[in-house]
Amino acid sequence: MGDSGRIITVGVSPAWDVTCRGRGVEWGRHMNIDEQTIRPAGKAMNVSFALAWMGCPSIAAGLWGREDHDEMATAVGRLGGLIEPRMTTVEGRTRRNISVVDTQAHREMHLRDPKSLASLDNLARLRDDLSGLVREGDWCVFSGAMPGDELLAPTVDLVRTCGGAGARLVIDTYGPVFKGLVDAGLAWLISPNVEELRELVGSQVEDSPAALVEAAKGLLDMAQMVRVSRGEKGAILVTKTGVWTGCATARRPALSTVGCGDYLLAGFLAGLRETGNPAVGLARGLKASTARAWGWSETKSWPQVDKEITVAIESVRNGVSTGRE
C-alpha cells in the first residue's frame, strides 16, 4: 500500500561536491584527471538526488548560500522536476568539498571545508520556512552534519517544529546533536551506522546481527524504527513489529564509498513509501547503496539495477532467522 506523504530532505550543512577521478594518483605529481563532477550536495541533497535516480520525487529544503543559489537550482532542474528546491536562501556562498578518487588503486581522499551557513538567525528563518512547508504525513529527513554547542537548542527546536506539524522525522546525523534529538524522542526513524549506534547506546556493541539487534531494540522507546548500516555487511532494520537483516548476494570491489549511506536511506524510504513494507524498503535501500558502491548509479538506470542486483532479506525472531523474504 502506497503512502501519499511527501519526502522533504532538510540540509543544515549543505555543500558542493567536487569529485576528481584519475588513475595512479600520487603526491607531488601534476597530472590530468579522467573526470570531474560538480554538483550540489550535503547528505540531505544527496538523498534527494538518490531518490530522483529511482524516480521518486522529493522536496529539497534547508540552508543555501545566496551567491550560488541559482547555480544549485539550475543543477537540480536538470532532473526533470523530481527535486523541488525550497531552500532558505542566506547570505554567503555554500562551501565546497573535494574528493579525489584513484580508480586504479581503488582509494580515495576527502577534503572537507568546515565552514557553515548555520547561525541563530539563519536557523530561525529556516524554522519559519519549514513551518509553512511541512504538513501532516510528510517525511522530513534531517541528514548530515547539524550544529551543536550554542546552536544545539535551536537545532532541536527546528526539528521539533516539523514534528509538531505532523511529519515523520527521519534522523541521519551524528555526534551530540544526534543523541540530543534521539533522547528528546523526536525521531520516527533513526539511521545510524555501527559506530554511531555505539555512541547512542554508550557501549562498544559487537558488529554482529544479534548484538546490533539487541542494542537497536533499546532505542525503540524513542523511535518507531532503527535502521543500522553495516557497510559491505549490509544492514539491519529493527521496528516495534519485526526485525530484518539483509545484504547483497554478490561481491565486487567498491569503486567508491562516497554517498552509499545516502543511497541506502533513500532506497529504504522510497520502498517503504511505495509499499508500506519495511522488508521491501530494506531491500531497495541495499540495492541502491550497492549500486552506488559499484559505480552503477552513474552508469545504469534504476530499473537496470533493480533487475541485476540481488539482495537477501531475512526476518529474525528471538535472535533466530525465520527465512528469506
List of residues 6+ apart from 215 with CB closer than 8 A? 197, 198, 201, 203, 205
The Cα–Cα gap between 170 and 7 comes to 10
Half-sphere CA count of 105, side-chain side, radius 13 A: 11
Q: Which amino acid is at 233?
A: K
Give dist(CA 131, CA 48) in Å, integer: 20
Residues 6+ apart with CB under 8 A from 175: 145, 148, 199
Write down all domains in the chain, each with its CATH number in brackets: 7-12+42-94+118-324 (3.40.1190.20)
CA distance 268 to 17: 23
Say what the pLDDT of residue 324 is. 58
Q: Please, what is the Cα angle at 222 between 217 and 224, to 5 degrees? A: 70
CB 75 within 8 A of CB 42: no
3-class DSSP assignment, residue 122: helix
Q: Which residues, in sequence order, are CB contacts of 234 under 8 Å at separation 6+?
A: 245, 246, 247, 248, 286, 311
Per-residue pLDDT of the chain (325 residues; tens, 9 = 90+): 567 799 999 999 999 999 999 999 999 999 999 999 999 999 999 999 999 999 999 999 999 999 999 999 999 999 889 999 999 999 999 999 999 989 899 888 999 999 999 999 999 999 999 999 999 999 999 999 999 889 999 999 999 999 999 999 999 999 888 988 999 999 999 999 999 999 999 999 999 999 999 999 999 999 999 999 999 999 999 999 999 999 999 989 887 788 899 999 999 999 999 999 999 999 999 999 999 999 999 999 999 999 999 999 999 875 555 555 5
Contact of 190 with 163, CB cutoff 8 Å: no
| Integer Cα distance of 112 and 120 in angstroms | 23
The pLDDT value given to residue 49? 97
List of residues 6+ apart from 171 with CB closer than 8 A: 142, 159, 178, 181, 182, 186, 187, 189, 190, 191, 223
Is the distance from CB of 262 to CB of 291 less than 8 angstroms? no
pLDDT at 1: 54
Residues sharing a CB contact under 8 Å with residue 217, sequence separation 6 or more, in sequence order = 226, 238
Is the Cβ–Cβ distance between 11 and 65 less than 8 Å?
no
Task: Centre a 10 Å sphere on the Cβ of residue 81 and count the other Cβ atoms it contains.
Answer: 9
What is the chain's percent helix, strand, coil content, to nearest 5? 40, 25, 35
User: How far are the Cα atoms of 150, 198, 210, 224, 225 from residue 215, in angstroms, in the given order?
Assistant: 30, 8, 9, 14, 13
**DSSP code at position 108:** E
